[in-house]
Amino acid sequence: MRADQSAHRVAALRGRLVDLELDGVVVTSPENIRYLSGFSGSLAYLVISRTDAEILGDSRYWLQMEAEAPGFTLIRSGPSHGLWALVAQRLKALKLGRVGFDSQHLTFDQHQRLSGALAAEHTLVAIAGLVEELRIVKAPEEVELLRSVAGIAGRAFDRVRGAIRPGLRERDVAFLLEQTFRELGADGPAFETIVAAGERGALPHGRASDRVLERGDMVVVDFGASAAGYHSDTTRTIVLGEPTTEQARVIEAVRQAQLESMALMKPGVTADTVDRRAREVLAGETHAFGHGLGHGIGLQVHERPFLSPTDHTPLRAGMVVTNEPGIYIPDWGGVRLEEMVLVTEAGPEVLTSASWEIGVG
Ligand code: ZN
Ligand code: ZN
């Protein structure tokens, strides 16, 4: 990551340290480390004070850290099991008294090791979601990465949908999609691709199985690609052949719930308000979705904010949030439609692009 982008994010974190009366923070989650420093490897810790920003790691990562995290001072550790002693040493050297830690990420064992190595003048303070709170609004360079990875997934789907036909298994469709993500430049799938045909569509998170696609099946395909640490998430529901009247009606109802709720995705509208609108549109349907309407997406597939009845976060320009209503009818099947939406001052902007045509094969 460019040093100035990293400096900008670290400055925002420092603002929060002042508010919370912390002298520094130890960052341990890989996504938060990547967000702040740019380092994409699997093991490192950050120690950030009001004036210093250090990245600690063992020799496997030194070159990578220098290349990816130019805004951070590299502190070289011995073998990885010595890392916690080194973190304690740095807290001591930087004279950090009150130190926040990622309480949602640091394991009990790691906490024991760190506190065991610290002298009495250091206090560890549990801070949940401090960096996640900064990640909730995407920087312009993050929006571009999300737009790009959503575009890859959309083009992959459009390429593969022509090959979907009776006789393929659900897992064949998932494989074709994931292979195409890579061909188009992604690092791989963002999550295990969901392909749920016929009655299996009633399982909101049905994994692609050996079930063979048949003419007349309605198929829920929920797919995402990942690149440069960022993820996409799109769902389409298609029908092999001509949709029946009931299939077309249910798909249309879900689409209506999506369009009406998406129109509300503007700055100032709270997450639960958007969720409620989709449920109101589907109020007459007996099997409307039991899951939340959507979720933030970025370095993680599911992150804040959540479009759900209990999340009252006001939407802000720069948030990227999915909108994915569904109807799941036991023994009949399911419909889900999902887009990634960028909240802008001018209103919602859809980042996902896969074809909307329902009939295939
Ligand atoms: Zn999805
Ligand atoms: Zn989703």
Find the 304 Cα to ligand 1 centroid distance in Å: 15
Q: What pLDDT sits at residue 198?
A: 94
Find the 46 Cα to ligand 2 centroid distance in Å: 30
Q: According to DSSP H, which parts of 50-169 are helical?
A: 62-68, 83-93, 108-117, 130-135, 140-161
Q: What pLDDT sits at residue 286?
A: 87
Find the 284 Cα to ligand 1 centroid distance in Å: 24
The type of residue at 173 is V
Q: What pLDDT sits at residue 205?
A: 84
Find the 322 Cα to ligand 2 centroid distance in Å: 6
Find the 1 Cα to ligand 1 centroid distance in Å: 28
Angle at the Cα of 25 from the Cα atoms of 11 and 77, rounded to 5 degrees: 110
Find the 95 Cα to ligand 1 centroid distance in Å: 45
Find the 224 Cα to ligand 2 centroid distance in Å: 9
Find the 286 Cα to ligand 1 centroid distance in Å: 22
CB of 40 within 8 A of CB of 55?
Answer: no
Query: What's the Cα-to-Cα distance from 88 to each of 116, 170, 180, 343, rounded to whole Å?
Result: 9, 50, 46, 41
Find the 168 Cα to ligand 1 centroid distance in Å: 22
321 alpha carbon, closest ligand: 2
Find the 98 Cα to ligand 2 centroid distance in Å: 37
Q: What pLDDT sits at residue 96?
A: 96
Which residues, in sequence order, are CB contacts of 313 under 8 Å at separation 6+? 136, 270, 271, 304, 305
Find the 302 Cα to ligand 2 centroid distance in Å: 7
Antiparallel, parallel or unpaired: β 218-223 and 326-329: unpaired
CB of 146 within 8 A of CB of 230?
Answer: yes
Find the 75 Cα to ligand 2 centroid distance in Å: 38
Q: Encode the chain (361 residues) as per-residue pLDDT tens digits.
A: 899 999 999 999 999 999 999 999 999 999 999 999 999 998 999 999 999 999 999 999 999 999 999 999 999 988 776 889 999 999 999 999 999 999 999 999 999 999 999 988 899 999 999 999 999 999 999 999 999 999 999 999 999 999 999 999 999 999 999 999 999 999 999 999 999 999 999 988 888 999 999 999 999 999 999 999 999 999 999 999 999 999 999 999 999 999 999 999 999 999 999 999 999 999 999 898 999 999 999 999 999 999 999 999 999 999 999 999 999 999 999 999 999 999 999 999 999 999 999 988 7
Three-state DSSP class for residue 309: coil
Please give all residues whose CB falls under 5 A of ion ligand 1, grouped by chain where several chains appear.
Answer: 222, 233, 235, 338
Closest by CA to 223, choosing from 169, 275, 179, 282, is 179
Q: Tell me, rounded to whole angstroms, the distance of Cα 131 from its chain centroid.
A: 14
Query: What's the Cα-to-Cα distance from 270 to each of 52, 208, 266, rounded to whole Å?
Result: 36, 34, 9
Q: What pLDDT sits at residue 78?
A: 83
CB of 338 within 8 A of CB of 235?
Answer: yes
Tokens at 148, concatenated: 């790009």
Find the 182 Cα to ligand 2 centroid distance in Å: 20
Find the 205 Cα to ligand 1 centroid distance in Å: 9
Three-state DSSP class for residue 237: strand
Find the 191 Cα to ligand 2 centroid distance in Å: 10
Find the 145 Cα to ligand 2 centroid distance in Å: 17
Whole-angstrom distance, CA of residue 261 vs CA of residue 271: 10
Domains observed in the chain: 3-135 (3.40.350.10), 140-360 (3.90.230.10)
Whole-angstrom distance, CA of residue 123 vs CA of residue 125: 6
Angle at the Cα of 57 from the Cα atoms of 55 and 59, rounded to 5 degrees: 135
Find the 238 Cα to ligand 2 centroid distance in Å: 17
221 alpha carbon, closest ligand: 1
Find the 268 Cα to ligand 2 centroid distance in Å: 22
Whole-angstrom distance, CA of residue 89 vs CA of residue 72: 17
222 alpha carbon, closest ligand: 1
For residues 290-305, b (16+ Cβ closer than 10 Å) or e, as one string?
A: eebbbbbbbbbbebbb
Find the 234 Cα to ligand 1 centroid distance in Å: 5
Find the 211 Cα to ligand 2 centroid distance in Å: 23
